[in-house]
Structure formats: structure tokens, C-alpha cells
Chain A
Amino acid sequence: EADIYQTPRYLVIGTGKKITLECSQTMGHDKMYWYQQDPGMELHLIHYSYGVNSTEKGDLSSESTVSRIRTEHFPLTLESARPSHTSQYLCASSDRIGVAGTDTQYFGPGTRLTVL
């Protein structure tokens, strides 16, 4: 069983608030990812990291920001939440092993964010 955790699981918040979604993994994985998923749609990559002090933007443009100060921790922050940010956010991690493209991603349970 993968050891990757996300908090909170559910969050309902008002417009304009600053929020941080937490993601932690205890597997020592170098790579971590944030995905956004709207109902009936694909998982879209919004941020990823190769390791400490590395962050990259994903395929889907996002107003959120991320940081990677510790290997195990990859928080996502929205400075000013808006209703358009309402979505499900999933965090994942993977290790740098094997042939390129084959590393399995281990997912957290997700955070369902609703911005009123």
C-alpha cells in the first residue's frame, strides 16, 4: 500500500481566501506531481517536481503555486481562491527507477475543493 497522504480531504471556502493543500509521502520518492480533475474529465497535470528545490509547471495552466523544500512534502497553494478553482486535486509520487516513462505513480486520496 502506498504511503502518500493529502489533507484536507474536503474543503469548502469563500472567494478570496488563501489555501494550502498538503501532500506528504513517506516512500522517499524523488518525483512528485499535482493533478486537477473536474467531473467527467481527465486528470490534468498542473505541477511536478523532480526533487528538492525543483518545481515545473504541467500541461494545464494553473494559478496555484507549489514548493518542494523537503523530499517528502509538496504543498500546493492558492493565494486567492475563486469559484473557478473548484475541483478535485490529486497528489502523486514516483521513484526514478527503470526505463524512462515506466515509473509507477502512487496517488493520494485527493482533496475536493469547493470555492463559494
Chain B
Amino acid sequence: ILNVEQSPQSLHVQEGDSTNFTCSFPSSNFYALHWYRWETAKSPEALFVMTLNGDEKKKGRISATLNTKEGYSYLYIKGSQPEDSATYLCAFNSGYSTLTFGKGTMLLVSP
């Protein structure tokens, strides 16, 4: 059974704060690591897919890094805005067609 851990479980920051979360996954049989963003009452939407050790991806104020040797990925949000409030999910792929998800980090950004 694959185990994908995300921390913290939830986070409350003020507008303008920068923040980061962690996703830990098995370092063996690694194929890809996905990040999704899930706003309340909406569908989860893809942020990044990363495959190579040392990968860094960026989309606006959001960026992610990947360390496949030690089995972790960080997601960073620079200058958080209220519209960044959402649950951020990571998902691990070990070469099969399916993803194993973590429980997510729930971010609340107050104005």
C-alpha cells in the first residue's frame, strides 16, 4: 500500500504571507508527482506534474520542487491572496495508470 503524506493538514495565513507545504511519497518506483488545487464547491484542477529529481515548476505565484531520492515535494505560494484559499493535493504515480493521493493541505488566506 503506497503512503502519501501531506503536511500541514491545514494552514491559516494573512494576505501577503508566503507559505509552503510538504508532500512525502515513497522514493522507490517513482514515475511522477502531481499537484492539484481544489477550491470549495469546484472540481480539483491540475497545477503541476513533475517527473525528474530536482524538477522545479512555476505558475504565477505558485511553484513546486521535487526530490525523488528522498521522496518529497514542496509547494510554495509567494504573497498569498484570498483567492489562493483551497485544498492542495499531491498525488504519486508509480508507473501504473492510477494515482495515489494524499489527504491534502487546506489553506485559508485572510484579507
Contacts and interface: CB of A to CB of B under 8 A. Distances in A.
Contacts, number: 65
B103 A31 contact: no
Interface in A59-116: 59, 90, 99-102, 104-110
B71 to A, nearest CB: 15
Given A42-B103, A101-B32, A50 B43 contact: no
A105 B46 contact: yes
Q: Interface majority SS on A: helix, strand, loop or mixed?
A: loop
Given A104-B34, A104-B49, A50 B42 contact: no
Contacts of A45: 98-100
Interface residues of A, number: 27
Contacts of B64: none
Contacts of B101: 35, 42-44
Interface of B: 1, 4, 31-32, 34, 41-46, 49, 51, 89, 91, 93-104
